Amino acid sequence: MSKLLLKPNFVETSSGVKIVHDVNSQNSPLKYVAMKVVDLAPQASYREDLGKVECCIVALTGKINVTDYIEVFENIGTRESVFEKKSTDSVYISNDRSFAIEAVSEARVILCYSPSEKQLPTKLIKAEDNSIEDRGKFNNKRLVHNILPDSDPSANSLLVVEVFTESGNWSSYPPHKHDQDNLPHESFLEETYYHEMNPRQGFVFQRVYTEDRSIDETMAVENGDVVIVPAGYHPVSVPDGYESYYLNIMAGPKRIWKFHNESAHEWILDRK
């Protein structure tokens, strides 16, 4: 199996709490991005003390309460399935703080991390605060929900976005990359993809490859899988009959998203 493809690994840490994924600098090539996927049974709770990292808590499905022990946000989360295709609530917690999550209903939460030194205010990112955009045309269409875009100054490093891609379409396409610190043309950002499919038994294909092919992996990605993108191009293809959801976490030395399209395929953008 590819080292860039991670399968769910349900580790029960306490009553009603299961860690589905735990991606960090110790078990991956990533230095700027870390993430956890946590499942909580109703009334179960999970807490963390953050060091020099910031965290965006995404209420993926179900309802949760979140506190940083100063502020409390109750009954956040808007959907039972990501394929309801409506935005959800998130909470930003800065470095050197602690937080706790309590499940109001059965819930899946994604914790997005990146290095951070400058403390910022805790912030509830309401579903209605997400900017929504349609990208692409023809079989390159997808729906984007921006949770923490680079235009939002609420975070020091983190960028978080949700993408919905219809049956038979391509996403993160034409192939683009952001692995060079070469602003204003391109920024260096590591990335992770958390994937879901509808129906659940579906799969998508994702290729991760660099210009020199030192990385060149093509993966069959199933529901609940995570794909790591330390560098390179990273397009996604959705087979007929299924629709795709993924949540992206990006971070790097500068909090700006500037990407480079692969020149061999950039002509696709000019089609009428």
Of residues 71, 269, 86, the one with CA closest to residue 164: 86
DSSP lists the bridge partners of residue 123 as 92
Asked whether 23 and 35 are in contact (CB, 8 A), the reply is yes
What domains can you pick out in the chain, each with its CATH number? Answer: 5-270 (2.60.120.10)
Long-range contacts made by residues 209-212, C-beta under 8 angstroms, separation at least 24?
209/233, 210/177, 210/179
pTM: 0.97
89: tokens are 């609530």
What pLDDT, on a 0 to 100 scale, did the predictor assign at position 272? 76
- DSSP-based three-state secondary structure for 21: strand
Of residues 165, 146, 142, 140, the one with CA closest to residue 58: 146
**Cα–Cα dist 20/10, whole Å:** 5
Query: Rounded to the nearest 10 degrees, how much is the dihedral formed by the CA atoms of 60, 66, 68, 69?
Result: -170
Model confidence pLDDT, tens digit, residues 105-147? 999 999 999 999 999 999 999 999 999 999 998 999 999 999 9
What's the CA angle centered on 20, arms 63 and 13, to 5 degrees? 85
- DSSP-based three-state secondary structure for 272: coil
If the chain, 272 residues long, is cut into consecutive pieces of 10 residues, what is the mean pLDDT of each piece? 91 94 96 98 98 98 98 98 98 98 98 97 98 93 97 97 97 96 96 98 98 96 98 98 98 97 93 80
